[in-house]
Amino acid sequence: MTEKRLRILIAKPGLDGHDRGAKVIARALRDAGMEVIYTGLRQTPEMIAEAALQEDVNAVGLSILSGAHMALVPRVLELLSKQGQGNVPVLIGGIIPDEDISQLEKLGVKGIFGPGTNTHHVVESVRQAVEAADVAQD
């Protein structure tokens, strides 16, 4: 039997045009032995949820620099839970003001990382979020 591998979706919603941060995280996750499904720029919440479903991912990472997180993230969470993937942890990287962080966490976001966060920390957080979700599942 082949070893199970974590499959992580990394997506870049919103209209801003560069994905350097998302790629850095994608590479760190890959180097940690995970399979990263990378969808590229300008993803709508619908596209992200659909990719998460087809790829049956263990976690979703969103990179958001546009400031539109309060519009985008709740929508992704809602779509995931509507399609039966409410247990899939969602983590965010980007510039998120303090007052929004607690609100996003209340909505169920499992990790929020500002610019310059150590990539090892991100990798570990993803791993722990997936483990916690698996435990909750059983």
Partner 1 sequence: MESVKQILKGDRLALARLLTKVENEEPSGFEALSALYPHTGGAHRIGITGAPGTGKSSLVNRLALHLRSSGWSEQAKAKSLKIAIVAVDPSSPFTGGAFLGDRIRMRDIFGDPGIFIRSMATRGALGGLARATADMVDVLDAAGFEAIFIETVGAGQAEVDVARMAHTVVVVGAPGLGDDVQAIKAGILEIADILVVNKADLPGAENTLRSLRLVLELASPPDRQPPSEIEETKGEEAAAANWSPPVLPTVATSGDGVAERIQSIHDHYQHLQQSGGLAARERARVRSEMEGLLRESLMEGFLEQQSEGSFESAVESVLNKKKAPRQAVRELVEGKQK
Burial class of 45 by CB neighbour count within 10 A (0 to 12, 13 to 18, 19+): buried
Q: Which is nearer to partner 1, 56 or 105 (CB)?
A: 56
Q: Which is nearer to partner 1, 5 or 102 (CB)?
A: 5
Considering Cα of 10, then 100, then 44, then 56, what sign does the dihedral take?
A: positive
Q: How many helices and strands in the chain, by DSSP H and E?
A: 5, 5
Say which amino acid occupies 41.
Answer: L
The site map against partner 1 for 36-75 (x = CB under 8 A) is: xxxxx-xxx-xx--xx-xxxx-------------------
The region of 22-30, 93-101, 107-115, 128-136 touching partner 1 under the rule CB under 8 A is 22-30
Query: Which residues contact partner 1 by CB under 8 A?
Result: 1-5, 7, 26-27, 29-40, 42-44, 46-47, 50-51, 53-56, 83-85
